Amino acid sequence: MRTSRKGSVEMPAFVRQLVKETEKRMSSFFKGGRGGASEGEHTAEGEREEVIPSPYLDRPVLDKLTEEGSTRWGLTYALGSMQGWRANMEDFHNCVPQLGGELTDWSFFAVFDGHAGNTVAQYCSQHLLGNLLSTGGMGPEDDPEKVKDSIIEGFLQTDKHLQTVARREGWERGGTTAVAALISPYYIYFANCGDSRAMICRSGQVCFSTCDHKPYCPLEKERIESAGGSVCLQRINGSLAVSRALGDFSYKGAENRTPCEQMVSPEPEVFVLERSPADEFLVLACDGVWDTITNEDLCAFIHNRLQVCTDLRDVCSQVIDLCLYKGSLDNISIIVLCFPGAPQLSAEALHQEAELEDLLESKVAEIYEELCSTGEEPDLLSVLTVLASSVIPGLPPGGGIQSKRNCIISAYYQQKELHKPTAPN
């Protein structure tokens, strides 16, 4: 099969300027000013106003971390992770395909999306599973109620231990969301704390997905206000964008309230789904994915990619690229778990993919020639704009034209090379 061809990517200048202006205005707002002093302008006291560094880069870091593995009972998995436009990489993960001992047929996977630093996310990736297992509620009997209670207790223990470490080490701020899947021979246990998300595809359709914990959700907002906080700009006290997380201890100081009653709760929502032969694949991902694509579109896209990709890591990489091209400015991390019933390579799908890439290459060549006829050398943005307005049959479902952008970029530079003026002898 043909593999997707990579090209360099730059944020359009107007988007980059919009990000900078938005950051400047938001920084001024949170400092209490209406316009704020401009960069380099002196305050009334003669002191230079503090300049808050932008959380975004001028160009994205496109290097990807990938890994893969499998279990003896037929589950395969792959991880893909990329820093993207963020100034720092704050995502961590944990992939344990076989827990061992009497839980040797159990698997655990999790994605941790850190904020205000990566310390908490890294700690939780190293200790959450151990705290879940230490509760003793998981065993060969596979009692769903016991396992659910153990998962909740494990999260609360992790947050409690984390607070002790934070005080000892002097961590003043930072937290992480967490979304995890614990897979037993009979059930799939989903645990979600924050706005990362898990989704499972069964018989080609979204069967289940977790709920995001946002401050403006009615029950979350009620708890926040009861703990003395407020929801402004869809954030807790105008600052934190998630209502459940591990860490974030500056939001957990309300007296006479349990940990689960604080402005930010460490309690996960736990869901149990009985396994089925129709289970195809399961996705765990941070909000850098879900901010740009719906459950249904991602399900359709992965379902299609599994029929044309020989490497599950390539599926993860294509999802990451798709989210980047759709405008994600966040770190992007995704784990895809394939059950025995997942779609397999299809000769027909491979043929259609090859025909699509041939069509895109010919379209790019036509557009390039047409733009050249105006007397100017076409730039990539002009070619992409014309192509986006064209009717292209056979694009991957759920992905659209963005999912083939690497192919288009490669075809563009091929045309640019072909039209390069020949140097005289």
Domain range annotation of the chain: 57-338, 347-418
Q: What is the pLDDT of residues 256-301, one digit of tens each?
A: 999 999 999 999 999 999 999 999 999 999 999 999 999 999 999 9
Below-70 pLDDT ranges, the chain: 1-51, 422-425
Range 347-418 has CATH code 1.10.510.10: no
**pLDDT score recorded for residue 23:** 42
Q: What is the pLDDT of residues 246-259, one digit of tens each?
A: 999 999 999 999 99
Q: Please identify, in words, the CATH class of the domain defined by 57-338.
A: alpha beta
**pLDDT score recorded for residue 41:** 37
What is the C-alpha separation between 326 and 316, in angstroms, rounded? 15
**pLDDT score recorded for residue 222:** 97
What is the C-alpha separation between 164 and 395, in angstroms, rounded? 52
**pLDDT score recorded for residue 20:** 44
What predicted TM-score, i.e. pTM, was given to this entire model? 0.86
Q: What is the pLDDT of residues 69-92, one digit of tens each?
A: 999 889 999 999 999 999 999 999
What is the C-alpha separation between 388 and 400, in angstroms, rounded? 10
**pLDDT score recorded for residue 182:** 98
Give the dihedral sign, CA 344/348/349/350: positive
**pLDDT score recorded for residue 17:** 43
